[in-house]
A and B are shown apart, each in its own frame.
Chain A
């Protein structure tokens, strides 16, 4: 049995390695978690995910920018790839915070923002159903119905493609009025989100999870 102190040291190491976008260190420490029988679920939540939450804060404060965020997400996924199978094999289940269908609306292929949002949701323990980019609007409706997701997240970068959002919100709400729709992207602001009938708006990848959690509570 690993001592509490050693466990704390390993988890702190995972946290620090994600924040420092040190993928090699994350891999090494994730194997240490398994070799020294540290609870992999705790390692994911308190180490990797908690580190990614700090990364999100740094991004919001313009301490980190997209290059750092991308490398931190690479480090996060490297650790998750090692630890998630161990969680499942031990019969453990990650506590799922929520489920979201995510995609860039039809007419738009700019997906870097959506991909960053996806990382933040996965790090926060949400199940993400990523439909990708240039997504036909009916696909959002179908995927929400299939997965029973509480939230649908829509992204757009151009003023032309953002027009698809209004229609998408209408279609999603008509199919299931209880679904919460979250929108984001460069041309969107809170007023446009309201005008389009969306329930929430996230100005950045770092704020999307908190906004979705707020929507689910209400």
Chain B
């Protein structure tokens, strides 16, 4: 039984499904360098499929990373070269000044940055009849990856027109990518993954969210859905409590999947999103790396108990990426807790 597909189709499942946001961990798990997950679509898919089989996770493999945007808009990207590096990073940003924005063009989606890798990965997903996913944005995080979040923050207050300009480009780029995926695979098969950690209240205020994120994110989601996309997975990472009234206004599909970090408790998430979205979250990733198996078991048990009766369904998940260096036994223990407490009668 594909539990996550069943929830998306509005069907009942036998137990809470598990979405493991695991990339570097899968590479290490099968003996590949972490960079292989991001640079080699075939190895990336293998590593994720083998790890899924080994641990019993429910989600399909996916390709992408949070620092998406720099490379695609003409800047650099660095792939992990040691075990201390978790994911690709941006050594410097393609937009360093107001002048740079003037020369900024929307990337050609068939050629830019990592998109050829992502397309190759999605072709493999299609060949294996897996859900087709594409990781892009959100609008604010993508903008921050183009010009640097500190520069974006300064512009929001000092030169808001520049901030709007760059977030506009981010929004249009996201829509270009999703349209390309939709045309290639059929929009109804594609699930866009929106990652929006930089829009958290650790960085911006709810007022700034309302002004600089809400209109663009809302437009992007509405247009994706009008293309025929059925479900959007939106990873609302970090402290987002003050942004919740705005996130609620953004359509996610029917149902969407909204995934939370530890900062938003599951009762709050269910109260605001449970009637229209599948809720996913929210065990702190650090516990998987630093905690004892008992602590992992207890944390996942609480998570499953709190979330499992959410009206449109619940997915057990960490609040963000599974640490690549997490002890394998802790990952096993996480699954054990879901199997022990996540069953539906």
The yes or no answer to B97 lying at the interface (CB within 8 A) is no
What's the minimum C-beta distance from A61 to chain B, rounded to whole angstroms? 12
Name the interface size band of chain A: 20 to 34
- On whether the beta carbons of A163 and B84 are closer than 8 Å, the reply is yes
Task: Please name all residues of chain A whose beta carbon is closer than 8 Å to the beta carbon of B202 when the two chains form the complex.
Answer: 66, 186
The yes or no answer to A160 lying at the interface (CB within 8 A) is yes
B323 to A, closest residue via Cβ: A159
Complex Cα distance A186/B158, Å?
Answer: 27
A-B contact pairs, 21 of them (CB 8 A): A62-B205, A65-B201, A65-B205, A66-B202, A67-B157, A70-B150, A71-B157, A107-B84, A107-B85, A115-B150, A158-B86, A159-B289, A159-B323, A159-B325, A160-B24, A163-B289, A164-B84, A189-B286, A192-B286, A192-B290, A195-B290
CB interface residues, B 124-158, toward A, < 8 Å: 149-150, 153-154, 156-158
Task: Please name all residues of chain B whose beta carbon is closer than 8 Å to the beta carbon of A158 when the two chains form the complex.
Answer: 86-87
B205 to A, closest residue via Cβ: A65
Complex Cα distance A189/B263, Å?
Answer: 14
Q: A66-B203, A107-B85 are in contact. Are A160 and B325 (CB under 8 A)?
A: yes
The yes or no answer to A161 lying at the interface (CB within 8 A) is yes
B156 to A, closest residue via Cβ: A67
- On whether the beta carbons of B153 and A66 are closer than 8 Å, the reply is yes
CB interface residues, B 312-330, toward A, < 8 Å: 321, 323-326
The 4 nearest A-B residue pairs measured at CB: A107-B84, A159-B323, A160-B86, A67-B153
Task: Please name all residues of chain B whose beta carbon is closer than 8 Å to the beta carbon of A65 when the two chains form the complex.
Answer: 201, 203-205, 208
| Complex partner residue of B82 from A74, A107, A112, A115, CB under 8 angstroms | A107
Complex Cα distance A66/B91, Å?
Answer: 21
Q: A107-B82, A161-B86 are in contact. Are A67 and B325 (CB under 8 A)?
A: no
- On whether the beta carbons of B154 and A160 are closer than 8 Å, the reply is no
Give chain B's interface residues, CB within 8 Å of chain A: 24, 82-87, 89-91, 149-150, 153-154, 156-158, 201-205, 208, 242, 285-286, 289-290, 321, 323-326
* Residue among B83, B158, B205, B290 having the largest count of chain A Cβ atoms under 10 Å: B290
| Complex partner residue of A67 from B24, B83, B86, B208, CB under 8 angstroms | B208
Task: Please name all residues of chain B whose beta carbon is closer than 8 Å to the beta carbon of A109 when the two chains form the complex.
Answer: 89-91
| Complex partner residue of B204 from A21, A66, A115, CB under 8 angstroms | A66
What's the minimum C-beta distance from B200 to chain A, rounded to whole angstroms? 10
B155 to A, closest residue via Cβ: A67
Task: Please name all residues of chain A whose beta carbon is closer than 8 Å to the beta carbon of B323 when the two chains form the complex.
Answer: 159-160
Complex Cα distance A159/B34, Å?
Answer: 14
- On whether the beta carbons of B154 and A70 are closer than 8 Å, the reply is yes
Residue interface mask A187-200, B partner, CB < 8 A = 1 = 10100100100000
What's the minimum C-beta distance from B68 to chain A, rounded to whole angstroms? 15
Complex Cα distance A74/B91, Å?
Answer: 23
- On whether the beta carbons of B89 and A163 are closer than 8 Å, the reply is no
What's the minimum C-beta distance from A67 to chain B, rounded to whole angstroms? 4
- On whether the beta carbons of A160 and B286 are closer than 8 Å, the reply is no
The yes or no answer to A106 lying at the interface (CB within 8 A) is yes
